[in-house]
Each structure stands twice: as C-alpha cells, then as structure tokens.
Amino acid sequence: MSNTAKYLLGLDGGGTKTIARLIQVDSGQEWSAKCGATSLTNNFALAVENIAKICNTLFAQAHCAPENVYAVLGLAGACNEKVKNTLEATLPLHFCHVEVVTDAKTSLYGANMGKPIAVVALGTGSVGMRLLDDNTEVLVGGWGFVHGDEGGGAQLGLMAVKQLMHEIDANNQHHCPLGQYLSKQLGQDRQSLQQWLAKSTPTDFATLTEAIFALKTHCEVANNVLARHAENVEKLISMTVSDTNLPLVLMGGLAKPTIGLLSKTVVGSMVDAKGDSLDGACLLALQNYQRMNGDGLTSYAQ
C-alpha cells in the first residue's frame, strides 16, 4: 500500500462512544474503530485524547500517514465555536485537511447521502435540520432542555413529573397510575420530589419515557402527556420541513416509540435514512477531497 495514497476519515463522536472509518479513495478499502466519549463540551481533554487514539489506531491498521488524510470529525458539542476552534488548534494530528463539524451536520448529510432532506432527531433533546439543493443547512429548535427541546425525551419526562407536582399541590394525592409510578421512583411528597429535582439532569427525565409509553393504555394522564409530546414533535417537524416538500427522516432513540403517536399525513412523508452520522462524515470528507483535488466522483462515491 502506498504511503502517498489519499484517504478519507470520517468520525462520529458523542457523549458515550465514538466510531470512525478510514477509506482509501482509489481502492475503496475500509478500516473501522471504536472508542469512548469525544463530546467537546463534556470533557474536552478526554475528547482530544480519544480522537488522537482512534485516528492513530486506524493509521496503524492502514499503514497510512495522516498527511494524506482528508478528515471530517462530527462531534457533539462542536456547535460551540470557541471549543471547536480550540480543538482545531490543539489536535496533535497533521491531517492533509481536517474539518470539525457537529454530529448533527454529519447526521444530516448521512440521512440522504448529501441529497436534500429534512431530519428531526428525537433523543434526550430534540432538533430539526433541513439540507437544501444548494447545500444550505437550516437548524430548527435544539435550544436545549431549559429553554426548548420540546420534542425530546427530557421534556416528555418533565411533562409527566409536572403531573406529579400537580397532584402534590392538590393535597398529596397520587390518583393516576402515572402519578403513583413517579411518586415511587422520585418521591411521595414535596420535600423528596424537590430533592430529586435539585439533582436531576435531562438524562434522568429522559429515562422516565419508557414507563410513560408503557402506561399509555392504562392511564389517561400518561395518554394526555403523550398526546402533548406528539403535538410538540409534529410542530418541530412542521417547522423543519417548512414550505418545502422534502422527505422526512425521524431519527434518535425516541423516534421509534413516537412514530406510533403521529398523524398518518406526517408518517406518510417519512422515509428511512440512507446512512448514519458516520456515513455523513465520510461523505463530507469525500466532498472536501474532491473540492481540493478538482476530482470528479471516485470509486468510493460511485
């Protein structure tokens, strides 16, 4: 294998795990690796360490030099410009070309392999994105748990916990199955619920969603909470698709249970994702390579 061959590196890095793929452009040969968290805003030093580790693992596997690699790193937390710039300045790897983007962007490019698409991601948070013909990207929502993310699992959990607050406010009675379940998990009274709230993270709220879905048919309150969740998701979808006719990809851990709550019209506009965030990162790396080398399509992209 020639040390001067050209390579693409795509990386999809999140708060718990990271996957990366190295591709030799001419042959299409691929190498893959996994490692731990590379979220830039959770633990920056660990992210740098893990990115360097996973890249060097791949370089060793492929016997390639970083100087020949066109890399795109799709990282959670890269929407923070300052942190992103610090990473680009700090990274101890001498790529031919490297671009740090958000994992949202790599998901968007992966969903329809770079073709126009609307994507709504439902996880702990929620965010919508659309990619237009001219490669314009539009972000919708994704304002975070405290100020937004109304279609996400954390907000769904919070809506349920608010029902428990309501029952506590109305004389400490936990009538409905949802209230009874939550009071057992989080606390029976104001004092214990407030202690739970003081320590709770968006993830803690999101872990309640499974039980809320499970109570759908037995509990009117759970059912109402899920109806409001569906309304929030449909609003986010409508804002994301906007006045376009783009097909819609729904992704993230909360996508599957939520689809059953949505209207037939919305479900009818949905398509399966063609690729994932890692595919999107590799595609963006290819586009960079092509732009910089004036190439047309390569064997990888054909």
Q: Do 145 and 138 touch, CB atoms closer than 8 A?
A: no
Give the 3-state secondary structure of residue 253.
coil
From CA 163, how far away is CA 160, in angstroms rounded?
5
Within 10 Å of residue 248's Cβ, how many Cβ atoms?
20
Instruction: Report if residue 89 touches its own copies, rule: CB under 8 A.
Output: no
Part in contact with its own copies (CB under 8 A); list of ranges 117-125, 191-199, 257-265, 278-286: 191-199
Among 1, 147, 264, 297, binds its own copies (CB under 8 A): 147
Tell me whether strands 137-141 and 97-102 are parallel, antiparallel or unpaired.
Answer: unpaired
Q: Does 161 bind its own copies (CB under 8 A)?
A: yes
The region of 15-23, 140-148, 174-182, 252-260 touching its own copies under the rule CB under 8 A is: 140-148
**Residue closer to its own copies (CB basis): 62 or 118:** 118
108: nearest Cα among 274, 285, 300, 237: 274
Task: Check residue 83 for interaction with its own copies (CB under 8 A).
Answer: no
Site string for its own copies, 206-245 (x = CB under 8 A): ---------------------------------x--x---
Helix (H, G, I), strand (E, B) or coil at 180: helix
Q: Which of 1, 45, 134, 191 binds its own copies (CB under 8 A)?
A: 191
Q: How many residues bind its own copies (CB under 8 A)?
A: 26
Q: List residues binding its own copies (CB under 8 A).
A: 79, 81, 138-141, 143-148, 158, 161-162, 165-166, 169-171, 190-191, 194, 197, 239, 242
